[in-house]
Amino acid sequence: MMARKTGAKFTFVLETYVMDVSIDPSWKGYLQAEFEKPYFKQLAGFVKDEYKRHTCYPLGKNIFAAFDHCPFQETKVVIIGQDPYHGPNQANGLCFSVKDGIPHPPSLVNIFKEITVDIGAAYPKSGNLERWAAQGVLLLNATLTVRAHQAGSHQKKGWETFTDAVIRTVSEQLDGVVFLLWGGFAKRKASLIDGTKHHILTSGHPSPLSANRGLWFGNQHFSKTNALLNTMGKENILW
């Protein structure tokens, strides 16, 4: 693995990927050590082979988009997803987010519905959540890649080791971050977070299965997050 400065970004060249991954330079000191560990080199080889032999998402250049769009020191909120959308043209490297112009998947629809009720915001036209990331929301999937039409196909290959390390690093190095843990999978990540220095909000998952059972709607996580940020003297997120 090599690294080089390119303009405002720090580009990590993962030889086994045969691709350049552009990441905001603020993450360099925290991620580079993980990139160099044996498990990550094995993971990189697996991902390279999967992208060569199958259609996979997101595009290679977007695999680390969560880190590129949200600088480390500006991280105020962390939302944890499971793995990327596995349908054509959906995943853009941010959890729950889709590209501009793409119909909103059911979980994202329910997220936006809760926002409209919770804070009175209009239902957005675009499901691209880069606008959240730019405000300090780290939209982190536990698994950063997936084979087309096969949910969970890249789980337990090493991504979870990497993203768990990211969560621990955010917990250890920053203060007053609001973690939004939706659903059983995300809730299990609470053990990686220091609850004495951060805020953890939990609820059911926004998927229809969970939402229709009354486990999502009414959680008010978006207004609660802003209230917590305000108590710490931080700016609201414009959801």
| Residues annotated catalytic, as ranges | 83
Cα–Cα distance for residue pair 129/123, rounded to 1 Å:
13
State the burial class of residue 120 (Cβ atoms within 10 Å of its Cβ: 0-12, 13-18, 19+): exposed
Cα–Cα distance for residue pair 90/28, rounded to 1 Å:
27
Among candidate residues 7, 18, 130, the one with its CA nearest the CA of residue 68:
130
What number of other Cβ atoms are within 10 A of residue 45's Cβ? 15
Cα–Cα distance for residue pair 122/136, rounded to 1 Å:
21
* CB distance 221 to 114 below 8 Å: yes
